[in-house]
Amino acid sequence: MLTAKQHELIRFIQQRLEETGISPSFEEMKAALDLKSKSGVHRLISALEERGFIRRLPNRARALEVLKNPEDVLPGTTAKPANDVVARTTTPPVAQLEPANDVIELPLHGRIAAGAPIEALEGQSSLPVPAALLGPGDHYALEVSGDSMIEAGIFDGDFALIKRTTTARDGEIVVALVDNEEATLKYLHRDGSMVRLDPANASYSAQVYQPDQVEVQGKLAGLLRRYN
């Protein structure tokens, strides 16, 4: 079952697609649902996407496709795609190719080490991030400090966009909280009974810990870099 807001949002998106062939902007969705911020819209979109009701069309920030309607999902029935809407969104007018300026305000939780672990600060500021850079799920941002991940293209002063999770596969870049007080950005590897946090810089050595010393708090979803 969808929540009332999720149902309201998918109906609004479908209505706009039927009327204009163009997905509504995050600002339009926020106003239509009487939400306080675009982050609320982002959470609803992510929930609908995870449950298979909609999907984001690649390479276009403001392009959504309705895959099924809430009315299609009834007990004892099989959900079917909303073919009339799919037809309109897979052959969009040229206007839909114009870039959108939808922005999500992510919580900016201080600085994280890309070197020796440093204390992870819970800041109160936020970082504006293009919505197209984020997939489904809950995200936050951290400012990178240090150079131990430069061979992975992560530099001092970059902003790491982190998908919040407590699990990760070997070889993924994660935010690892060490001894419940220090955080670092590293490749995660399980080495026998130990957990190894690997840098991406030959000048640094791997850090090896007992499993109960390391807590995964998220994994890298993207980067923002300022040039000035």
Say whether both 21 and 85 belong to one domain: yes
Say whether both 141 and 92 belong to one domain: no
Q: Which residues are catalytic?
A: 148, 186
Say whether both 132 and 178 belong to one domain: yes
Mean pLDDT confidence for 132-147: 85
Say whether both 88 and 120 belong to one domain: no
Whole-angstrom distance between the N-terminal and C-terminal Cα of the chain? Answer: 48
Q: Which tokens hold the place of 100?
A: 């959108």
CATH number of residue 116's parent domain: 2.10.109.10
Of 97, 116, 136, the one marking the end of a domain is 97
Task: Assess whether pLDDT exceeds 50 at residue 81.
Answer: no
Q: Which domain holds residue 195?
A: 103-224
Rounded CA gap, 23 and 175, in Å?
Answer: 34
Say whether both 201 and 183 belong to one domain: yes
Rounded CA gap, 184 and 175, in Å?
Answer: 6
CB atoms within 10 A of CB 86: 14
**Considering its fold, how many domains does the chain have in total?**
2
Of 97, 129, 162, the one marking the end of a domain is 97
Greater confidence (62 vs 118) lies with 62
- Provide the pLDDT confidence category of residue 58 given band limits of 50, 70 and 90: low
Mean pLDDT confidence for 132-138: 81
Q: In terms of Cα–Cα distance, which of 94, 85, 29 is closest to 55?
A: 85
Mean pLDDT confidence for 47-53: 82
Of 53, 76, 97, the one marking the end of a domain is 97
Say whether both 27 and 131 belong to one domain: no
Burial (CB < 10 A; 0-12, 13-18, 19+), residue 147, is middle
pLDDT digits (tens, 9 = 90+) for 152-175: 999 998 999 999 999 999 999 999
Which letter does DSSP use for residue 25 in this model? Answer: P
